[in-house]
Each structure stands twice: as structure tokens, then as C-alpha cells.
Chains A and B, each alone.
Chain A
Amino acid sequence: MMRRSGRWSVALVFTLLSACGPKEKVARVAIALPLTGDIAALGQGLERASKLALEEANAKGYFQGYRVEARVFDDRSDPREAVSVANRIVSDPSIVAVVGHFNSGCSIPASQVYARAHLTMISPAASNPKLTQQQLDPEWKYPRSIFRVNTTDDVQGPYAADYAVKTLKLRRAVVVHDKSAYGQGVAEEFRKRMSSNGGNVLSFDGINVGDKDFNALLTRLRELKPDVVYWGGDYAGGGLVVRQARGVGLTVPVILSEANMDPEYLRVAGQAAEGTYITFLGAPASELPSAQDFVKRYQARYPHDELKAYDHWGYEAMSIVLDLMHEIGPDKEKILAAVPKIKHEGVLGVTQFDEKGDTLNKTITIFQVKDGTFKPLK
């Protein structure tokens, strides 16, 4: 009996050895973005950029004794799907960090799943302040694992309100948002600053983007005689709202939040987009001296795709994770402990996180559509 089980255990040890012996050790980074759905274009751009960072690191032999792979997940901009993706990610022990998600509405519920599993999450685009704010709640029982490389909406919304009142001298605003965590959030921030800096918010309305017809609402807003329209939401709704606003004769300036910085906004709005303003978080890659080299490499790697508005952040979020893995190895607990202390010099310039996990970089750039392109205003 003893001999038999002894022989079995020897056989077992051999099987195990042969299973992992010759294979290279693999660590994975999850990329969780909307790759299909309404704003797939932005998600796909981010995926390309973050994969580029990984390819470059692997090519220069950045990791000793293991290989790093990306595992890509699609959250379809759907909060429920995002939570299910997050659960799949935390159940894969080879994943050491997450780059994602894109939408605030997806990032907030998913971030709680990652925090519970002590997995670092670096968002390249989610801008609702609540995402990192929730970690400061005394009820928060998990480690602080949520970070982002982009500026937030409590900077963007007030910036737009100040721009309207101080620069454009427009005081009577109507606000429309898409009822998402992001769109409504940034619209609220705009409204708050507008009411405190001498402006006046005449109305605050949410729409279902899928309805596609906002003529009735915009006709009512026209009757309120506003000076300026603010749109909080992404380009799926922004293009339609601007086009129909012009259609019903609401011709005053429009300011849009940053998720409209995509050619699709210009396509959907058409001629109506001319003259509209868009605030952008941080600076776009074209305006950043530190990102010029990245732009060239991106275009060389993906000659058939154009660089999307958020791509440099995706690259940076991935680079931060890869640099940490290079320094301290593919260990998710060690990475989690090290992220708050980083001082990362990359395409965005210097990235450091405050106590919440937000970047210390708080700049906003403002653009205006001229001749069918986004032109930065100085």
C-alpha cells in the first residue's frame, strides 16, 4: 500500500514538473475597455496604444525571467458588463494589474471588485471624481488600489463654466447631459461653478441618447433664450444634440465635455459642429512636447489607424504598470504598494498621484471646431 502511493506521488511530481518546467513564466496585464458599443472607437484606440507600450517593453527585454502579455476584455460601456469583466479578471491569478476602464459608469462599480482583490487599477480616461474619492470613505475596507492618469471632471466642469462667463462673457446657460455617471457628473460640476461665478443655469435636462430625437427638448430650451449650451456626455449624444440644436434655431455657442473629441462627433453633427467649444482633460498628444516621439511610434506601428484623443493616456497607464513590473517583478501586492509613490516620467510629462490616486496634473485645454477640425485655443 505504502509503495503504491509512493510510486503515484513520484508520477505526480513528474507530471507537474513536465507541465511547468520548459514553459516560460507569464504575467498578464488586463486591458478592460469598451471595444464594441457606442464609443468603441475610443476604446479601440486605447487598446492599440496600451498594446504598443507592452510590445516595446517586451522587445527591449524589459522583464527578467518572465514574459508579459496583455489580456483584453470588452466592457461594451455597460456597467453590468464591466462588473462581470472585473470578476473574470480577478479570477485569473496571472493578472497583476488592470489598465481600464474607460467610462466612469463602468469604472466605479468595477473598481470595487479590483480593490477587494488587491489588484491595481489605472484608468486612462474615467474622469468622474467619485471614482477615486470613494477610497477616502471611512467605510472603505479595501486597500487604495484605484488610480488614474487623466484630469478629473471637478476641474473640467468648472473650467468650462469659467470660460463661458469670464472669457466668452456668456451668463445664461442651459445644460443637457446623457444621464451617465460621466455626463451627469461633469454637467453637475459645470452647474455648480456657473451658479457661483455670476452665471445663471436656466435648465438642467437629461436625455436618453438612444432616443435620437431631442427636437422637443431643444425647442423648449430655445424659448428660454440662453447665451450658451453645455453638453455633458460623449459623442454618441453630442453630435445629435448639436445638430438638432442648430436645426431648431438654437444658434448660441455650445461647450461640450471632452468625450466629444473624436471625428465621429464632427461626422454626426456635420456643419453644425462649426464654432462649438470642447474642453479637454490635460493636453492632447499633439500639444505635448513629451508625446511627440510616442505619436511617431504609434503611427509607424498602426499606419492605417489615426491616433485617438485618449491614446497617450492609455500608453502612459500601461507604461506605469510595466515600469513597476520591471523594477519589482510581477507581484500584484508589491505593485499595489508601490504605485502611490511613483514619479513617472513619460509621454504625459511627470505623473504623480495624490492621496486619492488622482494625477497631480490638473491642466485643461480648450478647443474650437474650425473647418471641420479641432483647433486648440490658447
Chain B
Amino acid sequence: MIVQQLINGLTLGSLYALIALGYTMVYGVLLMINFAHSEIFMVGAFASLLCYKALSPVLSPTAAFVGGILCSFIVCAILAFAIERVAYRPLRRAARLAPLISAIGVSILLQNAVFLWISDQSLAYPSAFEPRHFQILGGDINSLQILILGVAVVLMLSLHMFVNKTRLGTAIRATAQDATTASLMGIPVSGIIAITFFLGGALGGVAGALNGMYYGSIKYNMGFVPGIKAFTAAVLGGIGNIPGAMWGGFILGILEAFAAGFIPNGSDWKDVIAFSVLLLILLFRPEGLLGKRVQDKV
């Protein structure tokens, strides 16, 4: 059963990790928590479902399914980009709290827009294929779980390569380190920030699409809980640190699965257990698991 719970935890954790990346990347370049990110995740789920429904009459289910994921990737990337342009960039020089409030405003706006214009009820997310089951080490894993793990790992690895191996990635890291100096070195900081939002939004959107497929239904308020959990994962791993967000997501997912899966009444206590671990880690490593201790920029 330990393998089974590990699979449950890894699937949940990979969804957390994909969302956590969006939080951590934005925090890295702007030192701002983008509270609208959980709503980008939700919009991703709706975008993929609407695309899937539009594509399924003309394409095979599997192709429509891939189309749905791509659609959420693109729609959410553009949405995050637009949000940055409209709601955060004008406030770049304002007090630290202003963009935070603006983010909460965007979050409320998106949630209500979906509520009013798309659906105030759960929408069923049709399954494109009948999940097949595989046995490994006494645990049962189905094709949907493999797909989620696979997509999440591939996306995270590509992001990691992109940030560490390309010129644009170097520019992102330079901006995260010190935006003023980066701009003196000729890096277009505003453009880099926009790219960061674009990437974070895309990952969040894909997470939304995968979440919809895995649990079979989506709803306008589905972003809130995963958003909070993913934010926690980002803090756990060290906010601003990309591998940290991935590890944070996996650790949180596995902790929750183990708490709910091994302790009687554990599902009542799983948040308490997960957050106690977070507190303990932050007590001893305030910068998070992989975060670096940085001097305040004064």
C-alpha cells in the first residue's frame, strides 16, 4: 500500500508543483505573490474543456485531448501576460502592497467572469480514453496518472533547461538577482518580466487542464485550494527557486497522501500535518528547502 500512496501523492504533488512554479517564478523576478495565479489555473481547466468540446467532433478523442491541453497552455500564457500588462506593470513603482491588492482584484474578477459567463455549476470533464491500469511494485497506476506525471516532469525539465541553458533564461536569472543592474547591462527587464508571466501562466494552465481530466469535473471556484497548497509548496521549497517549487510540490503531495492514507481519521488531520512540517522546516530553514539566504536589498 505504501507504493500506492506514493503514486497518489506524486500525482497530486506534480499538479501542485506545476502551479507552484508560476508563483515562484513571478516572486523571483518581482518579489510579488501573484494571487491571481490560482484563477489562471482555473481558467486553464475551462479553456481546455471548451477546446476539447469544440475539437472532438472533428478530431479523434486523443487528438482533441492534446488540443485541449495545448489550448490551455496558450490561453493561460496570454492571459497571464495580459494580467501583468494591465494590473501589475502600472503599479511597478507603487508601494509593495498595491500589486498584491491588484492581484486579489484580478482573482475575484476572473472567478466571477467564469461564474457569470461560463457556468456557476460543475462541468463534467469527459474522459478522452478509458484509463488502463498497470501494476508496479504492488501498486496500481493508471494511464491518466502516468500522463500527468509525464507531462509535469517534461514541462519542469524543459523549464529547467530553458532557464539554465538559454540566453533568455540567463536574462531571467539576472533579472531575478538584481533587476536594476540587469537593466544597466542592457537586459529589457519589462520584457523579461512579461516572459516570466507568460511561462508561469502556461504551466498553471496545463495544471488546470490535467486537474480537470484527472478529477472529471471543473468549477469556477476550483482554483482556491490548489492555489493555496501550491503557494505553500513554493514556500516550502524556497520561494523564488525553481527546483525548490518542484520539490516542494512533490513533498507536499506525498505528505498529504501519507497523512490521509495511513492514519485513521488522517484526512481530518492531513492539512495540520502538512502545515506542521512546513512550520518545522521554516523554523530551521526560513529560506525554504532550496532557497538561498539573501541579504535584503536596501
Give the one of A37, A40, A264 with max B CB within 10 A: A264
Given the contacts A205-B268, A206-B267, A220-B260, A267 and B5 also touching, CB distance less than 8 Å: no
- Residue-wise, chain B 269-291 has the 8 Å CB interface mask toward A (1 for contact) of 01100000000000000000000
- Interface residue? B107 (CB, 8 A): no
- Residue-wise, chain A 246-267 has the 8 Å CB interface mask toward B (1 for contact) of 0111000000000000001001
Q: Which of B17-25, B117-125, B181-189 contacts A (4 or more CB under 8 A)?
A: B117-125
Give the one of A210, A220, A244 with max B CB within 10 A: A220
- Residue-wise, chain A 33-54 has the 8 Å CB interface mask toward B (1 for contact) of 0001110110000000000000
- Interface residue? A20 (CB, 8 A): no
Residues of B within 8 A of A249 (CB): 140
Given the contacts A36-B120, A223-B1, A264-B122, A215 and B257 also touching, CB distance less than 8 Å: yes
Given the contacts A207-B267, A216-B5, A267 and B217 also touching, CB distance less than 8 Å: yes
Given the contacts A203-B264, A208-B225, A208-B271, A213 and B215 also touching, CB distance less than 8 Å: yes
- Interface residue? B72 (CB, 8 A): no
CB contact list, B135-170 vs A, under 8 A = 140, 142
Give the one of A214, A219, A223 with max B CB within 10 A: A219
Which residue of B is nearest A266, CB measured? B124
Once bound together, how far apart are the Cα atoms of A247 and B121, in whole Å?
23
- Interface residue? B27 (CB, 8 A): no
- Interface residue? A243 (CB, 8 A): yes
Give the one of A40, A213, A248 with max B CB within 10 A: A213
- Interface residue? A179 (CB, 8 A): yes
Whether the Cβ atoms of A264 and B5 lie closer than 8 Å is no
Given the contacts A211-B225, A216-B260, A220-B260, A267 and B8 also touching, CB distance less than 8 Å: no
Whether the Cβ atoms of A40 and B9 lie closer than 8 Å is no
Given the contacts A215-B257, A219-B4, A210 and B121 also touching, CB distance less than 8 Å: no
- Residue-wise, chain B 231-269 has the 8 Å CB interface mask toward A (1 for contact) of 000000000000000000000000011111110111110
Whether the Cβ atoms of B225 and A219 lie closer than 8 Å is no
Once bound together, how far apart are the Cα atoms of A220 and B226, in whole Å?
22
B45 CB, nearest partner CB in chain A, Å: 11
Once bound together, how far apart are the Cα atoms of A213 and B115, in whole Å?
22
Residues of B within 8 A of A105 (CB): none
Once bound together, how far apart are the Cα atoms of A290 and B270, in whole Å?
48
Whether the Cβ atoms of A205 and B267 lie closer than 8 Å is yes
A267 CB, nearest partner CB in chain B, Å: 4
B18 CB, nearest partner CB in chain A, Å: 14
Residues of B within 8 A of A37 (CB): 221
Whether the Cβ atoms of A268 and B261 lie closer than 8 Å is no
Whether the Cβ atoms of A214 and B217 lie closer than 8 Å is no
- Interface residue? B12 (CB, 8 A): yes
Whether the Cβ atoms of B267 and A270 lie closer than 8 Å is no
A66 CB, nearest partner CB in chain B, Å: 35
- Interface residue? B105 (CB, 8 A): no
Whether the Cβ atoms of B5 and A219 lie closer than 8 Å is yes
Which residue of B is nearest A239, CB measured? B217
- Interface residue? B222 (CB, 8 A): yes
B222 CB, nearest partner CB in chain A, Å: 7
- Interface residue? A217 (CB, 8 A): yes
A364 CB, nearest partner CB in chain B, Å: 27
Given the contacts A179-B268, A270-B124, A216 and B257 also touching, CB distance less than 8 Å: yes
CB contact list, B188-236 vs A, under 8 A = 211, 215-217, 221-222, 224-226
Which one of A179, A210, A217, A267 contacts B261 once the chains associate, using CB atoms below 8 Å? A217
Whether the Cβ atoms of B225 and A214 lie closer than 8 Å is no
B297 CB, nearest partner CB in chain A, Å: 36
- Interface residue? A212 (CB, 8 A): yes
Once bound together, how far apart are the Cα atoms of A264 and B124, in whole Å?
9
Which one of B221, B222, B256, B264 contacts A216 once the chains associate, using CB atoms below 8 Å? B256
Residues of A within 8 A of B215 (CB): 212-213, 240, 243-244
Residues of A within 8 A of B211 (CB): 212
- Interface residue? A294 (CB, 8 A): no
Which residue of A is nearest B15, CB measured? A213
B9 CB, nearest partner CB in chain A, Å: 7
B19 CB, nearest partner CB in chain A, Å: 13
- Residue-wise, chain A 16-43 has the 8 Å CB interface mask toward B (1 for contact) of 0000000000000000000011101100
Once bound together, how far apart are the Cα atoms of A213 and B216, in whole Å?
11
Once bound together, how far apart are the Cα atoms of A240 and B124, in whole Å?
11
Which residue of A is nearest B268, CB measured? A206
Whether the Cβ atoms of B268 and A268 lie closer than 8 Å is no
- Interface residue? A204 (CB, 8 A): yes
Which residue of A is nearest B120, CB measured? A40
Once bound together, how far apart are the Cα atoms of A94 and B74, in whole Å?
53
Whether the Cβ atoms of B225 and A212 lie closer than 8 Å is yes
Whether the Cβ atoms of B216 and A243 lie closer than 8 Å is yes
Given the contacts A36-B115, A240-B215, A217 and B267 also touching, CB distance less than 8 Å: yes
Residues of A within 8 A of B226 (CB): 212
Whether the Cβ atoms of A268 and B1 lie closer than 8 Å is no
Which one of A213, A220, A267 contacts B262 once the chains associate, using CB atoms below 8 Å? A220
Residues of B within 8 A of A212 (CB): 211, 215, 222, 225-226
Once bound together, how far apart are the Cα atoms of A37 and B112, in whole Å?
11
Whether the Cβ atoms of A216 and B217 lie closer than 8 Å is no
22 residue pairs bridging A and B, Cβ less than 8 Å apart: A36-B115, A36-B120, A38-B221, A205-B266, A212-B222, A212-B225, A212-B226, A213-B8, A213-B256, A215-B11, A215-B257, A216-B258, A216-B260, A217-B266, A219-B261, A220-B1, A220-B262, A239-B122, A240-B216, A240-B217, A267-B217, A270-B127
Q: A205-B266, A216-B8, A247-B142 are in contact. List 6 more A-B contacts (CB 8 A).
A: A212-B215, A212-B226, A213-B8, A220-B262, A243-B215, A267-B123
Point out residues on A near B: beta carbons under 8 Å.
Answer: 36-38, 40-41, 179, 203-208, 210-217, 219-220, 223, 236, 239-240, 243-244, 247-249, 264, 267-268, 270
The 7 closest A-B pairs by CB, nearest first: A216-B261, A216-B257, A210-B225, A216-B260, A267-B124, A268-B217, A215-B8
